[in-house]
Amino acid sequence: MNIKFLIRDLKIEGVQIVVIRLAKVLQHYGHEVEILTLFDDVKLPQTSGLKIRCLNIPHGTQGVDRIFPYFKAWFDENNDFDFLFAPHSESIKVISRIDDQRLIPYIHNSDEQSYNRRSLFKKLRYKHRIKKRLKNKHVVVVSNGIHAFTEKCCGKKILSNNVLYNPFCIQEIQALAQAPLQSELPDEFILFVGRLEKQKRIDRLLKAFSLLKNQTAKLLIMGEGVLYEDLRKLVDELQLNERVIFTAFECNPYPIMKAAKCLILTSDHEGFGNVLVESLATGTPALSVNCPSGPSEILTGELSQYLINSYDEGVIAQHLDSVLSQAPSCDLTEGYKKFDEAKVYQSFMETMTRISSHH
């Protein structure tokens, strides 16, 4: 098959990392793959061997009306692909303007949490907007939670609604985790990995951390983003300067994950929660609040003890204290083996066969 991906850019962010992984898996199995980017930002190092083309849209260009002509010009000249996946909101809006069933919205994030807080009128307006955007398209989503929410909002307006979990090369993660640490780390620390933005609710994590009975463990926050200064101020206010460490994203975060006592997410919502799978693969317990969507599909069975059914900082602190006080007692493999890239590839082929049969 000839598969294209239309993404915003190649910054180090969750969606881009998943697309690169999936593209490499498809290429490994003999498919022709190309990644199109709207903008030329490049930070991701793992792109060698992949065909990448930039539409070179000038920076600062905003809104689908201005972005669309660049894609349309490419589309009119390059119409020989089997499927094109659009994972960012910008790229989903762009493909919604062309009535072609090969153009697939590839949804990585759940709007369910913000939707539930809206008034009835705003809920109806959201549904109208999303139906219009996804109408007459085959949709692929990264979790059962997003699948259910998309079904609730769009119903029969879409041609099909398919779950494709994010792929992970478990062997590679485990090999990379063996690399020597590049910097000195605390003896005992909790790890957060992610963008420093509102959705991730790092303020909630810091407040929970301030309530720990364990006063010696440190908190390592690995990430970059717009809330950096605000979070530093909150650390000051909570008098946690001696115990909270901020560090930038690492190209290979796995040795740090392996060294951590546990990893935690306290987000309002996730698309999937990639870092939970990665942490478990390195042998480190991963905790998360039970937000939509993804964590409850990763932390299943015995691992559900790491799923926190509350957003309350005190309850989160109790779970962290519990994990800090004991060695992992359950088999972590249950949390990652179903997401191994060979299994996800099999699921991808079944999905594309199903979609093709509609045509």
Q: Nearest 5°: phi and psi at 189?
A: -150, 150
- d(CA 146, CA 148) in angstroms, rounded, equals 5
CATH homologous superfamily of domain 2-167+340-358?
A: Glycogen Phosphorylase B; (3.40.50.2000)
Question: What residue spans define the domains of the chain?
Answer: 2-167+340-358, 170-338
- Scan for tokens 């593209």, then name that residue: 23
Query: Looking at residue 114, what is its pLDDT?
Result: 82
Query: Looking at residue 359, what is its pLDDT?
Result: 63
Query: Looking at residue 292, what is its pLDDT?
Result: 86
Measure the CA dihedral 217/218/222/226, to 10°.
130
Cβ atoms of residues 286 and 299 within 8 Å = yes
Fold agreement (2-167+340-358, 170-338): yes
Between vectors from CA 213 to CA 280 and to CA 330, what angle results, nearest 5°? Answer: 25
| Distance from chain centroid for Cα 355 | 24
Instruction: Give the CATH class of 170-338.
Output: alpha beta
Facing residues of 161 across strands? 139
Segments of the chain scoring below 50 in pLDDT: none
Report the side by side order of strands in the sheet with 160-163: 51-54, 32-37, 2-7, 83-86, 103-107, 138-141, 160-163
Radius of gyration of the chain (CA): 21
Question: Which of 119, 117, 94 has its CA nearest to residue 38?
Answer: 94
